[in-house]
Structures are given as C-alpha cells and as structure tokens.
Structure 1
Amino acid sequence: MQAQKVQTQKLDVAGMAVAAATHRDTASTASARSVAGAGIRVEIFDSMAPLEAEWRALEQDDLASLHQSYDWCTAWTETFRHPLAIVHGSFNGRTAFILPLEIIRTQGVRRAEFIGTRHSNINTGLFSAEYLETADNVLSASQQAEIAQALRGKADLMVLRNVPLDWRGRESPLASMPAVENQNHAFQLPFLGTFEATLKQVNAKRRRKKFKHQTRILNEKGGYEYVIAAPDQRDTLLDLFFRQKAVRFETAGLPDVFHDAPTQTALHRLLALRDDGQSYAALEMHALRLKGEHEGHIPAVAALSRKSDHVICQFASIDEALVPEASPGELLFWLMIERLHREGVALFDFGIGDQGYKRSWCPMETTQHDLILPISRIGHMAAFAQRGVTRAKTAIKANPRLYGFIQRLRARQGGSDASAEEAEKD
C-alpha cells in the first residue's frame, strides 16, 4: 500500500447543535471543554470505567483495531498502572470518538500514547458510524487544538503510533493530523475465495513444494502435530515463547522487549479474553509439536489475535536446536493460514516489521504513520526531535545495505554473527 500525503482538512459540523452540558457521576475525574462553533465536546477521563458502554459499542466496528478494544486496554492499564487520559469526543450528547491514551514519562517528557502501544501492531482509535458518515469525517484543526488544550497540564505531546492513514479502503479520521512515516511497515495476506487462489498471490507452486519438503523431513523423524492451545495449555505455551524469544534476541544482539514482568503479566491476562464464538480472541497460542524421536519438542510457537475477519500474528518464535532444516516456523504459518481460510477470515496480518518470511507470504504492504500533536513548549521541542529520529530510522531501513550493516554490528556486539533477518522491529 502506497504512503499517502497528509492533508489538513476541516470537518464542517457547524450546523450541529451543541450538546447541552450534563453532569456525569465521574465529573470530578474528567475535564470537559466545548469546541466553539464545531459542535464537538471534548472530555478527558482518567479512568476507563465511565466510558465502558460507549467504548464497547464503538469497538464493534470491524475496522477498529483490536488494540483499542476495552478488554485489551484493561489488561494493560491494570498491569502497568500508567496515568490515563482517555479522550472522549461527543456531539448532540452522542459519542463521536474515543482515543484511549495513557501518559508515559520518558526523559522528563510526558507523552500521551495509545494504551499498550509498545506491543500493538495497528492503531485506529474508535469512531462512531455517525461521525464517520459526516462530510469530511476527519478531526478538524479546531478539534485538534481543543484536544491539545484539554490535555494541557497532563501531557507535553500526544504521539499516536502505527496508524495507517488508509485502512482497508477507509481513510482514517486521524489522517488530518501532523504525521511522520513510521520506520516499520506492516505486511498482510488477503484471503481470496479459495486457499489455492490465496496461495497464487505468493507463488502457489513454490509454497506447496516447500510445504511437502517440510512435512517429508518431519515425517521421517516421526511426524508432528499442529496444536491450538486449550485453556490449560495457554500459559505454558506463552512462557515457552518468552524463553525461545529471549534466546533469539540475545543471538541477534537486541534487547528483549518481552523480558519485564509487567509485560508478561499483561500478555498472560490477554489469553483469557475471547468470545463464545470465533469473532474475538485477544491472544490465542498456536504451536508445532514433534512426535517420534523428538516426542513433545516444540520448535515453533505463534500468538494470534482475532477481531471479526482480521487476524494478526502478534508474535512468534522458533527453536533451532532440532530440525531447523524443516523451517518449523514457516510450516506453522502454513497450518494456521490453511485453517483460518476455512473460518471466514478475510485478512491475515503478519504485523509490523520488515522480515524476509513476511515478504514471502504477503502481497500487501501497509505504510503506517506516527501522528504527533505538541501541547506544551517542551512538547514542541520533543515533537521536533521525535520526527527527526523517526525519519532517520525510516531512511536507514529504506537502505538495505546500511540497515544490514547496522544489524550485523548489533549482532557482533551481542556476541554472535546472527543474520539481520533474525532481528525484530525496533
């Protein structure tokens, strides 16, 4: 997907009646301001509970990111306990949008970011159908200014990371905000009418040949089974992922972003979040388990999230101690994709981070942006620095030779000559 130019547009809602101010039970924990002449009322809440009903209604939109769902955000907020600044916009007394933000302080700068953004693959915010159907359906300059004013004293700048300006045919209402291209793109495999048609997007003949080669190697060693973790297996598989990934990070000379206890706790909490059907699963563990001479060994693990017809591979790991020649991680992806194709999924998302195995599976590449709204004087300086760092990273990643050199340097500093392909997004 090609990057789009960001243009500032205004939402003409002057004809909408300004909603009458009403008293909420939580008024003491929310600051409210009205957008003069625009009909939008902006409130900042420091807790999630008062907005639960409206929040759960907005997240039903199929194109709203799972990472902004109420349950997903609850798992992170109750674990990390960062101060919250939930942006709530309404007109005529009806919810127009919710931006679930938390305040992260780094180097003396307070950033209002999407909750749990460090471990999210796509962020969209939450918008009502009524708001999306308005003439321009974007945040106007006056509304952005009002959000900044409402956040004053709570944050120095608002940074919304990993936002696609266009997602599955819909322009983001956030596309009018000042933006810089994120250094990491995301990669997707659209599902077509049949599994064979889907494979033809990525060279079906080569894919099937590789699959047969992988299965022949493993069958000669006693076989394998594809595991979708039952409730009593989920935590064990997630812990195995943490161990496997720690080894991979160390080998690649990269910091382990899953190492800290709060992150692991939040991810364990997500395992229990799912509906009774197949339309929502916050985190579902999948694995390849060997039989025969390597009975019980698990050489590949992956965690999937599902919201409606969109499935995201949140993370995956491999153990090359045994059968590396069978490419167990690639085989696990085949098995997951083949199964999901039968279950009404429309898009399999490999998430952000440019890696060879993703490109081999994905005909679709999505450019994401970081949206930056300065609030305080310090925030203006931090925003300038933020844009500079992000643009530098983007330029480096656009230069394969330079990026490869830096990754090899990282690996050597980590005490290994691991290839750049093993490095994760940064």
Structure 2
Amino acid sequence: MPQATQAAFDARVDVDDESLAGAKPAPAVVLDDVRIATHGDLASVEREWRAFEQVADCTVFQSFDWVSIWQRHIGERNGVVPAIVTVRDTQGQLMCLLPLGIEPGVGRRLTWLGTVLCDYNAPLLAPNFGQRIDEARFKDLWAKVCRTLQADPRFRFDVVYFDKMQKVVGSQANPFMVLGVMPHANGAYLTALGADWESFYAGKRSSDTRRRDRTKRKKLSQFGELRFVTATGTDIATSLATLMEQKSKAFAAMGVTNIFALPGYRDFYNALAQRFAHASRLDVGVKPAAVNLGLIFRGSYYHLLASYDGGELSKYGPGAAHMHHLLQYAIEQRCHTFDFTIGDERYKQEWSDSHIVLYDHIAPATLRGAILAARLYAVGRVKHFIKQNPALWDKAYKLRAALGALKRRG
C-alpha cells in the first residue's frame, strides 16, 4: 500500500478541532441564526474539508481526496458543477458539510457529488449534529439550503436525486432519512474481523468448505507458486491495467456497460490507486490470477473492485483464494471491519454478518423535475422489485447476458 494511504486520512491539518465541531455539548440551534454558504470550487474549501473529515461522521466516499479526484477526472468531463454547502452556528462552528453537485441534462439534478461511483452517499456531520438539529429543525434547515441553492444560477436544479444512503452516518442517525425515502435496488454487506486470520476463517467456514478451499488452492498451485502481492510504485499501474482488462471481459459477459470505456474512469481509478488506495494481486506463477482495489478508512477495509482471470485458472477459484488473502491482510492492518460495499453477490453474503439497507430520496423542484422524478421513482421501484425477487433477478440476469452476447456478435 502506498505510504500516502493512511497519511491522507490520519495526518491532522493545523486547524483547531474546537472550531470545527466543538469540544463540549452544544445547545440546540435557532435556525434563523444558522449560516449557510455555498461553494462552486472545491479548492476554496479544501483545507477546511480535510480538517473536518478528521472529526466528522462520514465514510471514505465523503473524503476530500475521493470527491476531488472524481470531480477532476469524471465530473468536469460531464459538466457536473460542485455545489458544496457548509452550515455553521452563530459561533462559526461547522455543523455539517454537504458534498453536492448539479448534474446537467434535460432536467438539472441535485445529487451527491460523485454519486455514480460512491457506494455510500452521506453528509459530513459534526459529532453533536444530531443533538443540535432534531428532525423538525432539519426539515426546515434543508428547505433553507434548497432556497439558497436555487437563488444562485449556478446551482439551480429541477429535481433532488439522493441515492445509496444509509440510515446512519457514523454513530448518528442520517438526517436525510426524514425527508422521505424508498429502498435502493441494492444493499451492501460487511463483516466484523477477528484478531487473527485462522480463527476468523474457522469461524466463517465449515470444515468441509475449508477442505474444498485447500483442494482448489492445491490445484491452482500446480500452475505455479501462489503469491499475494501488494502493488507499489510502477507496479500499481500495471496491476490496475490487468484489473481493468479482466473486469472489462466480465462486463462484456454480463452484458453491462464497461465503465472503463467511459470518459475519465480509467484516469480516476489510476489516480485513486496512486493517491491512497490499496491495489493487490494473487499471482499464480507469473500470471496475475486475481486483482483488487480497496481503501482503508477509520479501521474499515472497503472492497471497491475485484477481477480474476477468466481462463483455465477460473475453474479453481482464484478470486476466492485472493479474498482469503485480502481478509487476512485487513486483519494484519488492524482493521475491525471488512466492507464488501454495494452489491448483493453471493460471496459477499457468505462472508458477511451484517446487511446494510440503502435508501434513495427523490423530490421534484420544478414541473420539469416532476416528470423526471416520476421516471426516477418508477425505474427505482422496478429495479428493487426485480432484484429482491430471486427468480425474476435470475431471469433478468440471463437475459441481459444473452443480449450482451448478441450485441458483441453484431
């Protein structure tokens, strides 16, 4: 893992924490005294954002590094305008930071900045935010934020589309749940890690399963020595190129969009890996059998991308063998949680002990937005219905793959 991996999150900025979140319990605020500011330039709030994320409740997807890298490589190319909102009390203490953006189109959407690749969307909240802003106050605060945004031509929007939100942000309730939400099509999974790999593995897998794992690993080793490699230096770019090649083939087989063919996506992941992500491989001899990209943030390992060789080695579970090494690596890094992030794949469910339900909030702001909101709502409900029905999802999955095969032949 690059040296900047933890330094990016653990090194504290020279800003007094008391000026950010307050060291003592604070009383409920009077909304008329709350100061709301909007920012269309990430650089103007970088120093304060980096300092606030050290004490605020948030996930890695709200870190300045993640959001700024996404905006630079993907957002700007797609005309997304940052609309960062800061909310302060009368003492100037930052109570929350909302990393929002305006997406262009037939209707302008107010979204979480970088939402398309963020597995969890959320505000950054001061630790005492929930104590100071109750549900009723938050509804009024949000209405005030919307009015402030709409008053600036840069930030005007037709519909609010906030997806992939959890019920909680860190240790407190997510205030956006009070605005009215519906379940997202996908959930997410995570597992608590133990003190050592062997006891964790034994507790998660039956003796029969562990025996089958050993058999597959032995067959893999017949193709060459198995080595778990954490990429460093120039090897990071090489490993990412392999991941993208393997993943692109998998996308084609599934009949889904190859994100690495979209403008800026390769640049985004390469920049992410060079800045603070963990890239690793399972090599079988000289062949990269499986590759992964993950992030470590506040004791959690976030599993972002994974791929494996689709050739002869695939019969012996290189992806599963790589996962064993990743879980062991996370334990050795003293992570307390392994977060498989969004997606309902079976292997995630088999390893996990917690399921995260995600939610979407959709609200029109104009007549045009009402039409767009109706479509977003309908699509979301249909996706959720299909994915929560195993028989329907199996049929949809096979149909998508078949259509993808026809498209490749054409």
* TM-score interval for Structure 1 and Structure 2 normalised by the shorter chain: 0.7 to 0.9
Corresponding residue of 2:15: none
Where in structure 2 are the equivalents of 1:69-218 lying within 5 Å?
69-80=63-74, 81=76, 82-92=80-90, 93-106=92-105, 108-134=106-132, 136=134, 140-152=138-150, 153=153, 154-166=156-168, 170-199=172-201, 202-218=204-220
Corresponding residue of 2:294: 304
Q: Is residue 52 from structure 1 mapped to residue 54 from structure 2 by the alignment?
A: no
TM-superposed CA distance for 1:251, in Å, is 1.0
Choose which of 294, 313, 323 in structure 1 pairs with 2:313: 323
Corresponding residue of 2:342: 352
TM-superposed CA distance for 1:386, in Å, is 1.6
Name the stretch that deviates more: 358-367 or 137-146: 137-146
Please tell me the residue identity of whatever aligns with 2:48: E
Deviations 1:9-56 (A, max 9, x none): xxxx99646xxxxxxxxxxxxxxxxx53xx322222111122223211
Q: TM-score with structure 1 length normalisation?
A: 0.82
Q: Matched residues, percent identical?
A: 22
SS in 2 for 1:117: coil
TM-superposed CA distance for 1:164, in Å, is 0.5
- In 1, Cα distance between equivalents of 2:136 and 2:232: 43
For the aligned residues, what is the CA RMSD? 2.3
SS in 2 for 1:109: coil
SS in 1 for 2:259: coil
- In 2, Cα distance between equivalents of 1:163 and 1:201: 31
Q: Is residue 398 from structure 1 mapped to residue 388 from structure 2 by the alignment?
A: yes
Corresponding residue of 1:236: 238
Name the stretch that deviates more: 51-60 or 388-397: 51-60
TM-superposed CA distance for 1:167, in Å, is 5.2
Q: Is residue 381 from structure 1 mapped to residue 383 from structure 2 by the alignment?
A: no
Q: Is this contact kept in 2: 1:289–1:299, CA < 8 A?
A: yes
- In 2, Cα distance between equivalents of 1:297 and 1:221: 9
- In 2, Cα distance between equivalents of 1:64 and 1:210: 39
* Cα 1:68/1:168, change in 2 over 3 Å: closer
Corresponding residue of 1:65: 59
- In 2, Cα distance between equivalents of 1:253 and 1:396: 17
Structure having the larger proportion of residues in helix: 2
TM-superposed CA distance for 1:404, in Å, is 0.9
TM-superposed CA distance for 1:204, in Å, is 4.4
5+ unaligned residues in a row in structure 1: which ranges? 1-12, 18-34, 275-282, 417-426
SS in 2 for 1:120: coil
Q: Is this contact kept in 2: 1:374–1:380, CA < 8 A?
A: yes
* Cα 1:272/1:413, change in 2 over 3 Å: same
Corresponding residue of 2:248: 246
Corresponding residue of 1:224: 226
Deviations 1:96-131 (A, max 9, x none): 11111222123x111122222111111222111232
Corresponding residue of 2:360: 370
* Cα 1:381/1:151, change in 2 over 3 Å: farther
Please tell me the residue identity of whatever aligns with 2:211: K
- In 1, Cα distance between equivalents of 2:197 and 2:288: 26
Q: Is residue 259 from structure 1 mapped to residue 258 from structure 2 by the alignment?
A: no
SS in 2 for 1:392: helix
- In 2, Cα distance between equivalents of 1:318 and 1:139: 49
TM-superposed CA distance for 1:355, in Å, is 1.0
* Cα 1:52/1:264, change in 2 over 3 Å: same
- In 2, Cα distance between equivalents of 1:125 and 1:301: 31
TM-superposed CA distance for 1:393, in Å, is 0.8
- In 1, Cα distance between equivalents of 2:169 and 2:94: 22
Corresponding residue of 1:338: 328
TM-superposed CA distance for 1:387, in Å, is 1.8
Q: Is this contact kept in 2: 1:62–1:308, CA < 8 A?
A: no
Name the stretch that deviates more: 329-338 or 125-134: 125-134
- In 1, Cα distance between equivalents of 2:137 and 2:302: 27
Q: Is this contact kept in 1: 2:86–2:96, CA < 8 A?
A: yes
Q: Is this contact kept in 2: 1:201–1:363, CA < 8 A?
A: no
Number of equivalenced pairs: 373
- In 1, Cα distance between equivalents of 2:306 and 2:50: 29
Please tell me the residue identity of whatever aligns with 1:95: L
- In 1, Cα distance between equivalents of 2:28 and 2:395: 57
Q: TM-score with structure 2 length normalisation?
A: 0.85
